[in-house]
C-alpha cells in the first residue's frame, strides 16, 4: 500500500507496518515486492527500481521532465512519461518526446479544497492508453484520452474542473468532473452518476469505487459504491479514500474547525480509518509511533 511517500505492509489493514519511507521523491508500486521512485542523477530525472526485501536497486529509465517539479505521470519501468510544460502536453514514448496538444494560459487561484481542480494524468494498467487533464485547463475539450502506440486521440471532451480519475481493469476509465463518467475503447464515453465526486478511488478488481462527496455546506464524507451502483455506503466526516485491498479502504477522518479554517468548515484531524465494504465495519487504523501517513491538519 502506498500513501504519499510511505509504503506499508497492509496484510492487516487495521495494523499496518511501515516498509519504506521516501523523501523528495515520487514512488509507485512495481509489483508485489518492489517499488519505483524518481530521483536525480547527473542532472537528469531517473526512475530507480528497488527490491523491498533486499534493498537492491537498478536503474529503470531516464525521464525528460522531472515529475517532482510539475504536473506529470510516469510508468515504473521509466519508459513512459506524460507531462505539462510551456502550455503543451507532452508524451515521452519510444525514447522520444512528442507534443500531444496545447492548452490555454491560466491566471487566478483557488481558496477552498472543494473549489480546486485536481487534474488527471494516468496511464492505463497495460500502458496502452493515456488520460490527461491539466489542472488549470478549463477548455471545452480539457479531458483527452490517447492511444500510446500511435498517439491517436480517442476522446476530447469538456468536463469542467477535473476532480480525479482512475483506470479500471478492461481499459475502463472513470473520471470526476461536473459529473461521474466512464470511457472504454469499445463503449466510448457515457454517464455513470450525476453527483460531484472528488479524488475517486477504485479497488484493484474494479468492483468498488469510492470518492469524497461534499454537502451543500462544504462538509465532506466518503461515498463507497459498487461499480454497477447496486450497493452504497457513506462514512462519517472524512475524505481522500484509497483502497488497500479488494474490500477495505482507508480514508482520512475530518473534524469541524470553525474559525481556524481558512475556507472550509472541516479539516483532516490526523486520524486514518479503515472501512470494510463486506462487513460495513469502520475501524481506527493503528499505526506504530511515527508511521502515520498524515499529520493533524
pLDDT for 7-19, tens place per residue?
999 999 999 999 9
Q: Is pLDDT above 90 for 197? A: yes
Alpha carbons 148 and 164: distance in angstroms, whole number:
20
pLDDT of residue 234: 96
pLDDT mean over 100-105: 94
Distance in Å from the first CA to the final CA of the chain: 22
pLDDT tens-place string over residues 141-175: 999 999 999 999 999 999 999 999 999 999 999 99
Q: Supply the pLDDT for residue 31.
A: 85
pTM: 0.93
Q: How many CB atoms lie within 10 A of CB 262?
A: 10
Q: What is the pLDDT of residue 293?
A: 84
Residues 6+ apart with CB under 8 A from 262: 111
Averaged confidence pLDDT in the chain: 94
pLDDT in tens, 29-54: 998 899 999 999 988 999 999 999 99
For the chain, domains (ranges, CATH) are: 69-284 (2.130.10.10)
Band (pLDDT 50/70/90 cuts) for residue 107 is low
pLDDT band at 67 (very low <50, low <70, confident <90, very high): very high
For 200-240, what is each residue's pLDDT tens digit? 999 999 999 999 999 988 899 999 999 999 999 999 999 99
Question: Average pLDDT of 270-286?
Answer: 96
Q: Is the pLDDT of residue 69 over 70?
A: yes
What pLDDT was estimated at residue 294?
A: 62
3 state DSSP class of 131: strand
Residue 262 or 182, more confident: 182
pLDDT at 181 over 70: yes
Decide if pLDDT at 110 tops 60: yes
Per-residue pLDDT at 296: 41
What's the pLDDT score for residue 258?
A: 75
Average pLDDT over residues 105-133: 89
User: Do residues 284 and 271 make contact, with C-beta atoms less than 8 angstroms apart?
Assistant: yes
69 secondary structure, DSSP code = G
What does the pLDDT look like over 240-261, one tens digit per residue?
Answer: 999 999 999 999 999 998 777 7
What pLDDT score does 108 carry?
67
For the chain, the C-alpha Rg in angstroms (whole number) is 19
Alpha helices (runs of H) in 8-53, residue ranges in sequence order? none
- The whole-number average pLDDT for the span 170-188 is 97
Cell output for 280: 460495513
Q: Is the pLDDT of residue 297 over 80?
A: no
Amino acid at each position: 500500500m502506498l500513501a504519499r511517500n510511505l509504503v506499508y505492509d497492509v496484510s492487516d489493514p487495521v495494523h499496518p507496518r511501515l516498509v519504506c519511507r521516501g523523501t523528495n521523491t515520487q514512488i509507485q508500486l512495481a509489483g508485489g515486492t518492489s517499488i519505483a521512485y524518481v530521483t536525480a542523477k547527473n542532472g537528469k530525472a531517473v526512475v530507480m527500481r528497488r527490491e523491498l526485501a533486499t534493498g537492491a536497486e537498478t536503474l529503470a529509465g531516464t525521464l525528460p521532465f522531472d515529475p517532482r517539479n510539475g504536473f506529470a505521470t510516469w510508468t515504473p519501468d521509466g519508459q513512459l512519461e506524460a507531462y505539462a510544460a510551456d502550455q503543451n502536453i507532452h508524451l515521452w514514448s519510444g525514447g522520444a518526446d512528442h507534443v500531444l496538444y496545447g492548452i490555454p494560459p491560466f491566471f487566478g487561484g483557488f481558496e477552498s479544497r472543494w473549489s480546486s481542480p485536481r487534474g488527471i494524468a494516468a496511464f492505463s494498467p497495460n500502458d496502452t492508453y493515456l488520460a490527461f487533464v491539466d489542472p488549470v485547463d478549463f477548455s471545452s475539450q480539457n479531458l483527452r484520452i490517447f492511444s500510446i502506440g500511435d498517439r491517436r486521440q480517442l476522446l476530447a471532451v469538456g468536463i469542467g474542473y477535473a476532480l480525479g480519475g482512475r483506470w479500471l481493469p478492461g481499459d475502463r476509465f472513470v473520471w470526476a468532473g461536473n459529473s461521474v463518467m466512464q470511457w472504454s475503447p469499445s463503449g466510448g464515453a457515457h454517464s455513470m452518476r450525476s453527483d460531484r465526486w472528488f479524488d475517486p478511488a477504485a479497488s484493484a478488481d474494479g468492483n468498488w469505487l469510492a470518492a469524497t462527496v461534499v454537502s451543500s455546506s462544504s462538509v465532506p464524507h466518503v461515498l463507497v459504491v459498487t461499480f454497477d451502483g447496486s450497493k452504497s455506503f457513506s462514512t462519517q466526516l472524512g475524505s481522500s479514500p484509497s483502497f488497500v485491498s479488494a474490500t477495505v479502504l482507508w480514508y482520512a477522518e475530518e473534524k469541524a474547525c470553525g474559525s481556524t479554517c481558512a475556507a472550509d468548515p472541516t479539516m483532516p484531524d490526523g486520524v486514518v480509518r479503515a472501512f470494510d465494504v463486506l462487513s460495513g465495519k469502520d475501524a481506527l487504523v493503528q499505526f506504530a509511533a511515527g508511521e502515520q501517513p498524515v499529520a493533524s491538519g
